[in-house]
Amino acid sequence: MDMNLVMACLGIMGKGMVGIFTVVLVIWGCVALLNRVTAKKKD
């Protein structure tokens, strides 16, 4: 097994996981913002 290739693949996979995590956080933030903006006011 070529360890250089394994380490290169782990780097690529790490970048992909960070990208997915970032997108999930952005979507979560948008949903939270929309909930706050469109929530009915309690009077």
Q: Which residues contact 6 (CB under 8 A, 6 or more apart)?
A: none
Phi, psi of 18 (to 5 degrees): -65, -40
Residue 41's pLDDT is what? 80
Could you report the per-residue pLDDT of 8-21, keeping only the tens digit for each?
999 999 999 999 99
Residue 42's pLDDT is what? 76
Could you report the per-residue pLDDT of 18-41, keeping only the tens digit for each?
999 999 999 999 999 999 999 888
Rounded to 10 degrees, the C-alpha dihedral 18/21/27/33 comes to -100
Q: Which two tokens stand for residue 15?
A: 């970048």
DSSP conformational letter for 2: -
Distance in angstroms (rounded) separating the CA atoms of residues 18 and 25: 11
pTM of the predicted model as reported, rounded to 2 decimal places? 0.74
